[in-house]
Chain A
Amino acid sequence: MTSRINRQRPFFLNLMAIRLPIGGIVSILHRASGAGLSLAVPVLLFLFSRSVRSPYYYDRVTGIFSHGLGWLIGLGLLWALLHHFLAGLRHLGFDFGLGESTEKARQTAWLAFGLAIALVSLVALASLMGGGA
């Protein structure tokens, strides 16, 4: 197997000069958001265990996400979840042979990318209006 791989293949990794198509951007963000969420799982589980323990801890946990850095991290996690979810639905579509043409694939990539950002912006706006942050 190994011997058939071209060892002299061109190697180009200038991140500032690479122009990734939208599908590539959505793909790398799918991976990055998945990695971030995976690392966050134990922390979120801890916060969940606190949130169902008593009214005091419930208020502590919701308080963390209501202002400042916690608010930003919460929105970041929400974006990661939404982007990963939407990009994942797109991949499930590919598995069933849906939207595989270049044009459709680009459209759904933009849709997943934009919808995740739009929904997070809505939540951010709603929490600001509701007196958060």
Chain B
Amino acid sequence: MRHVGGARRGLDMWLLQRASAIYMAAFLAVFLVLFLAAGPMDFMAWRGLFVPTAMKVGSLLFVAALLAHAWIGLREIFIDYVHFLVLRLGLYLAFGTLYLGCLVWTVDILWSVK
């Protein structure tokens, strides 16, 4: 069966999986420092973390990286275990739609923190 998409697709995915992993690791390290520096955690301190625009943008990029990473990872799993092509493409689309929805939702969540 011919693959759907170009021959370079696998390499693009491989690269994006690494790039998103590196961004997430870096963001989590910064976030952990800010989280610990915020002192004893309560609602105001937790919410306060997400007030600066830089934090909103950084968090949104983190979620975008996370969703891309999760989708590519699930794609690997589907390629290994779901051999019925229509079902596999259906799963790609279902998770792609779910995750795109999550990304838009994240914008709403983050920018509602004022």
| B-binding residues in A (CB < 8 A) | 31, 34-35, 37-38, 41-42, 45, 48-49, 51-52, 54-55, 58-59, 85, 88-89, 92, 95
Contact = CB atoms under 8 A, between A and B. Distances in A.
Interface string B67-87: 100110110110000000000
Nearest to B51: A52
A54 B42 CA distance: 11
Contacts of B21: 88, 92
A95 B21 CA distance: 13
Contact of A31 (B28, B77, B112): B77
Contacts of A59: 43
A34 B99 CA distance: 15
Contact of B43 (A34, A58, A88): A58
A34 B18 contact: no
A34 B44 CA distance: 32
